[in-house]
């Protein structure tokens, strides 16, 4: 009898292993960022690469826009890697490593605006928003662009950079609120204080699940992702992956620029939100309930009990 029971248990264990792998909790999947070397290689080969041709475009989990959440967003002139085409949609991989579907109208398969060998320098937008004009002295606004947008310059005049656009034309953008870099130069790392100041520019921006911009909306890991990126620290887009980066800090030693990860309640073991400490017990984050980016206080007992982790990335 004992032998039959043992065999039955062994059989059930084998089935469990085959169908679930093991009983250990699955680790969060870390998104593989589509790095600059990968982008340059794809552009050189000229295959399955396109660029975003609108200010901010939503990337969806399925090729439809009805009743679903956004996976992430892609910014103007960002390259995307085409995985599949389907009835007016492209399945793409974006710079932050996410994959999803974008309407074909929002990307351009002409990639002259990102071929580095044709340019003098790279221009990164650090202002909350900026404008591309038709002439070096002004003219009409061709395009509004947002923080994190990267453009390539072929010249400079009257304090503005001439940049190549996804449609093959050119425009002019002010040097203010930008960083000019050499073609191979990485965005320089700034400071924890600069990181916090950048985040504060988003205060009042609307909440959007999967968002990374003030133009359409932002969620809490999207806020951390875009603000760290333009301050020279590359983090994953995914909140669980973000919580693995940097140095673990106790809440008692929190400083400006530290990341504060919150659970949904005091019993949660996984993060539901992340904020950036800005000093004086305050942190800033995109709050789903209030549907906007707000500041809250760690003196709030309910919030303090929800703190899962504090990470220092600067």
What per-residue confidence (pLDDT) applies to 69? 79
Hey, what CATH class is 113-181 in?
A: mainly beta
**Whole-angstrom Cα distance, residue 64 to residue 35?**
28
- Whether 153 contacts 123, CB under 8 Å: yes
What per-residue confidence (pLDDT) applies to 39? 63
CA distances from 234 to 47, 168, 187, 229, 299 (A): 26, 29, 10, 5, 30
Which of the 8 DSSP states describes residue 210? Answer: T
- How many C-beta neighbours within 10 Å does residue 163 have? 26
Please list, residue by residue across 75-113, b when 16 or more beta carbons sit within 10 angstroms of its beta carbon and e when fewer do: bbbbbbbbeeeeeebbbbbbbbbbbbbbebebbbeeeeb
Domain 36-109: give its CATH architecture.
Answer: Roll (2.30)
- Whether 293 contacts 314, CB under 8 Å: no
What per-residue confidence (pLDDT) applies to 21? 35
What per-residue confidence (pLDDT) applies to 13? 39
Structure tokens at 91: 């399945």
- Whether 49 contacts 111, CB under 8 Å: yes
What per-residue confidence (pLDDT) applies to 181? 96
Which stretches in the chain have pLDDT values below 70?
1-47, 67-68
CA-based nearest residue to 193, from 277, 260, 128:
277
What per-residue confidence (pLDDT) applies to 277? 98
What per-residue confidence (pLDDT) applies to 36? 57
| Packed helices 220-229 and 192-200: angle between N→C axes, nearest 10 degrees | 130
The SS3 assignment for 172 reads strand
What per-residue confidence (pLDDT) applies to 33? 52
- Whether 179 contacts 229, CB under 8 Å: no
What per-residue confidence (pLDDT) applies to 117? 80
Instruction: Out of 3.90.1720.10, 3.90.1150.10, 2.60.40.3670, 2.40.110.10, select the CATH number for domain 192-312.
Output: 3.90.1720.10
Domain-by-domain residue ranges, the chain?
36-109, 113-181, 192-312
Instruction: Please tell me if the domain spanning 36-109 has the same topology as the one spanning 192-312.
Output: no
Could you report the per-residue pLDDT of 90-127, keeping only the tens digit for each? 999 999 999 999 999 999 998 999 988 889 999 999 99
Taking every pair of C-alpha atoms in the chain, what is the biggest distance, in angstroms? Answer: 91
Could you report the per-residue pLDDT of 62-96, keeping only the tens digit for each? 998 775 678 999 999 999 999 999 989 999 999 99
């Amino acid at each position: 009898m004992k032998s039959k029971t043992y065999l039955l248990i062994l059989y059930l264990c084998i089935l469990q292993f085959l169908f679930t792998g093991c009983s250990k909790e699955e680790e969060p999947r870390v998104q593989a960022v589509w790095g600059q070397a990968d982008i340059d290689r794809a552009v050189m080969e000229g295959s399955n690469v396109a660029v975003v041709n609108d200010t901010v475009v939503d990337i969806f989990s399925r090729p439809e826009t009805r009743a679903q959440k956004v996976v992430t967003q892609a910014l103007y002139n960002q390259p995307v890697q085409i995985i599949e085409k389907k009835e007016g949609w492209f399945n793409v991989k974006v710079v932050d490593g996410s994959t999803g579907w974008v309407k074909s109208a929002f990307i351009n398969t002409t990639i002259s605006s990102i071929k580095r060998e044709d340019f003098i320098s790279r221009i990164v937008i650090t202002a909350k928003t900026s404008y591309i004009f038709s002439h070096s002295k002004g003219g009409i606004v061709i395009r509004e662009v947002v923080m994190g947008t990267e453009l390539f310059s072929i010249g400079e005049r009257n304090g503005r950079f001439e940049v190549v656009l996804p449609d093959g034309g050119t425009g002019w953008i002010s040097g203010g609120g930008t960083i000019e870099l050499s073609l191979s130069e990485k965005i320089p790392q700034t400071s924890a204080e600069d990181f916090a100041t950048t985040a504060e520019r988003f205060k009042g921006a609307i909440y959007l699940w999967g968002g990374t911009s003030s133009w359409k909306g932002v969620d809490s890991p999207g806020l951390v992702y875009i603000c760290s990126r333009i301050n020279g620290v590359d983090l994953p887009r995914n909140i669980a992956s973000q919580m693995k980066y940097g140095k673990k800090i106790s809440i008692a030693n929190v400083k400006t620029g530290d990341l504060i990860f919150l659970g949904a309640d005091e019993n949660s073991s996984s993060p539901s939100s992340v904020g950036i400490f800005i000093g004086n017990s305050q942190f800033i984050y995109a709050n789903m309930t209030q549907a906007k980016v707000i500041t809250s206080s760690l003196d709030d007992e309910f919030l303090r009990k929800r703190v899962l982790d504090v990470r220092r990335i600067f």
